[in-house]
Amino acid sequence: MRRLRACLGAAAAVTLAATGTTALVAGSASGAGNALDNRWYAAAPYLMPLDNDPPDPAAIMDATGLKSFQLAFVLAPNGGGCTPTWGGTAPVSSDTAVKSVIDRIRAKGGDVSVSIGGYGGTKLGQACADPTATAAAYQQVITKYGLRAIDFDLEEPEYENSAAIRNEIGAARILQQNNPGLYVSVTTAGTADGTGWFGKQMLLEAKSQGFTPNNFSIMPFDGGFNGAASQTSALTKFNEVLQSTFGWDQATAYAHEGFSGMNGRSDTGEYFSQADFQTVLDYATSHHMDRFTFWSLNRDRQCTPADNGGRTSGTCSSVVQNSWDFAKYSVKFAGATPPSTTPTPTPTPTPPGASCKAAWSSAAVYTKDDEVSYGKHNWKAKWWTQNEVPGASQWGPWQDEGAC
């Protein structure tokens, strides 16, 4: 789902690893709220707090009963280095914007997990020198926000780099040891066979390091999937992969298996409806799987493909729905009952009559914060770009600013 050398904090982590001293426990870190049951962290849908028209998490909580959010994504700095940032641009060390979102969620009795990695950008496992340095960078995130849960989203191109995966898995193992009770999920690509060659190599790396997270989750979309039946088939195949890799029986493998879906239209044009989510939810609960999540809450609101120029959107699902309908499946997985009626949300529409910016040109060079119009929407550049069509991918360089 999503971007030289040693970290500044690596020396402290080396000392911890050498002496066996336990790092700051996530549950007692500054800013932490009341801990949730792990089932809530396992049910947390992804939310981009700084991009893709972030929705108000408090409104989602009121409408659905959701208590947990998977905030995405922590990456290495775009300019290089081994320090954590949000999206490659906003240093965690000086962050106030995401912390404000977390404080708002915790004030209503909820909590968050943070996801590292994703589909785009440079990952810390690629930028840091070794597992110890990588873990030190992630420990800064855990300590900053008082985290009790973290997600390692390991996918291409990072998971094609064996050194990077060794750093990520090693870092996850160190964090698990140094933060007792930390809920750790590892998310990777899904295929019809469960996961592909690189995903299986990642599992073998985990086995070689003696690392077992709370779950390994696959993303059965963007790979020629067609509805829930293809997804549950992939989950069954992945269970067999976990059994053969770790020597687990079927029940143990399911207890360490997770599902990470995509609501509505996927990046490759597949469609996953609410009925599909219900079918996969029934499969996950009947097999006592450990995790059920989806990408993303930013997309958990209605638009049609025509509204979005026939493209997959980062801010809506492209299927018929009420706002936050997909979040209710996460609530059910956590063992709670969503409200029977949905409160009327406070609308935040694009102001009427917003004028279109200058038309996008394939020949022009754009830098961060440049604005253009394309497909009757205004778009803002996230970084330097040339000849990349606005909206062609939600991971691309353009942020949708709404219709014009």
Instruction: List active site positions.
Output: 155
DSSP code of residue 266: -
Is 247:215 a contact under the CB 8 Å cutoff? no
Calpha distance 143→148 (Å, rounded): 10
* Residue 223: both structure tokens together: 């790979």
The secondary structure of residue 92, as a DSSP letter, is G
For CA atoms 107, 108, 112, 118, give the dihedral sign: negative
Distance from C-alpha of 28 to C-alpha of 146, rounded to nearest angstrom: 7
Q: How far apart are CA 20 and CA 23, in angstroms?
A: 9
What CA–CA distances, in Å, run from 267 to 304, 362, 372, 404?
Answer: 15, 22, 23, 24
45 neighbors 188 (Cβ within 8 angstroms): no
- Give bridge partners of residue 398 from the DSSP assignment: 381
Q: Quick check: helix, strand or coil at residue 323?
A: coil
- Give SS3 for 204: helix
β-strand partners of 142: none
For residue 4, give both structure tokens. 């030289």
| 8 A C-beta contact, residue 129 and residue 166 | no
Q: What is the CA radius of gyration of the chain?
A: 20
Which residues, at least 6 apart from 269, have a Cβ–Cβ distance to it below 8 Å?
312
**Three-state DSSP state, 29:** coil
